[in-house]
């Protein structure tokens, strides 16, 4: 894979202020892509990501938007077009959790998770596709979850949103395949991010029993696949759900 294979390309990474999103932004930047760093509330972290991206010799800026709100997505896309004139690569990474057993789950907890995780993927993809059609080249990479494949107690809303993204990927990949646009989903398992860091040792030990490799993943495990799928080495890969979970989904 050429070190600067994506030179001249523009990537929008949602939820790029930290974790998998940040690692993905840095990976694509290292390959030469300019980066739009989307964030919702973590402005300082997003600006830090921008600085790190720029240190790799590409252009970047931070753009605030709640991807679950159509008007904010529209404004974000307008800002990106004004800055870069195009979007070649979209990483739908932004996501939230509001866990709870279904019996006690509020309408708000259900709606917020669906709005951000699923509707956000829809809003951003629809906007990006219009631009990708014009250039007849594009990459959409959705960040799903292992629980979208196997479920998890207390996460009916989250599991449903991530499972729906898999179906979204299959259908959209078929719709845009003749335009040299690929659409794939990566389903991470438990990755060493803030989500894992807040777990108790007892919770971590219980989770480890589900993972054949007996260890948590690192953000680079995901971002390396993001870089591969964005590259021309993956030009014949589309409509796939790729698990990076230490064997958890087996």
User: Which regions of the chain does DSSP assign to beta strands (E)?
Assistant: 10-13, 34-39, 60-64, 89-92, 138-143, 181-188, 241-244
Confidence of residue 2 (pLDDT cuts 50, 70, 90): low
- Would residue 89 count as lying in a domain? yes
* Interval 56-79 mean pLDDT: 98
Which domain does 148 fall in, by range? Answer: 10-243
Residue showing tokens 């402005």: 43
- Would residue 49 count as lying in a domain? yes
- Would residue 16 count as lying in a domain? yes
CA distance 134 to 181: 11
- Would residue 5 count as lying in a domain? no
Q: Is 228 known to be catalytic?
A: no
- Would residue 249 count as lying in a domain? no
- Would residue 115 count as lying in a domain? yes
Confidence of residue 3 (pLDDT cuts 50, 70, 90): low
Confidence of residue 157 (pLDDT cuts 50, 70, 90): very high
- Would residue 110 count as lying in a domain? yes
CA distance 139 to 129: 9
Residue 32: which CATH number?
Answer: 3.40.50.720
User: pTM of the entire structure?
Assistant: 0.96
Out of 39, 158, 190, 228, pick the active-site residue. Answer: 158
Confidence of residue 201 (pLDDT cuts 50, 70, 90): confident
pLDDT at 1 over 90: no
- Would residue 248 count as lying in a domain? no
Q: Please state the domain count of the chain.
A: 1
Res 4: pLDDT: 75
DSSP string, 6-63: TTT-EEEETTTTSHHHHHHHHHHHHTT-EEEEEESS-HHHHHHHHHHHHTTTS-EEEE
């Amino acid at each position: 894979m050429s070190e600067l294979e994506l030179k001249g390309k523009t990537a929008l990474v949602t939820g790029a202020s930290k974790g998998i999103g940040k690692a993905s932004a840095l990976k694509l930047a290292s390959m030469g892509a300019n980066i739009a760093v989307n964030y919702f509330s973590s402005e300082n972290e997003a600006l830090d990501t921008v600085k790190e991206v720029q240190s790799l010799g590409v252009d970047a800026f931070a753009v605030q938007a709640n991807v679950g709100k159509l008007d904010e997505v529209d404004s974000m896309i307008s800002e990106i077009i004004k800055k870069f004139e195009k979007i070649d690569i979209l990483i739908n990474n932004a996501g939230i959790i509001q866990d709870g057993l279904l019996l006690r789950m509020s309408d708000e907890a259900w709606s917020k998770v669906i709005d951000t995780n699923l509707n956000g993927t829809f809003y951003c993809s629809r906007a990006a596709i219009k631009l990708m059609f014009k250039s007849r080249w594009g990459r959409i990479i959705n960040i799903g979850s292992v629980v979208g494949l196997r479920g998890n107690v207390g996460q009916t809303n989250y599991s449903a949103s991530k499972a729906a993204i898999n179906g979204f990927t299959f259908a959209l990949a078929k719709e845009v395949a003749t335009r040299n646009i690929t659409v794939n989903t990566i389903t991470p398992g438990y990755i060493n991010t803030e989500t894992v860091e807040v777990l108790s040792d007892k919770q971590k030990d219980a989770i480890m029993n589900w993972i054949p490799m007996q260890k948590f993943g690192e953000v680079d495990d995901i971002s390396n696949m993001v870089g591969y799928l964005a590259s021309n080495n993956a030009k014949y890969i589309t409509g796939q759900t790729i698990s990076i979970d230490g064997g958890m989904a087996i």
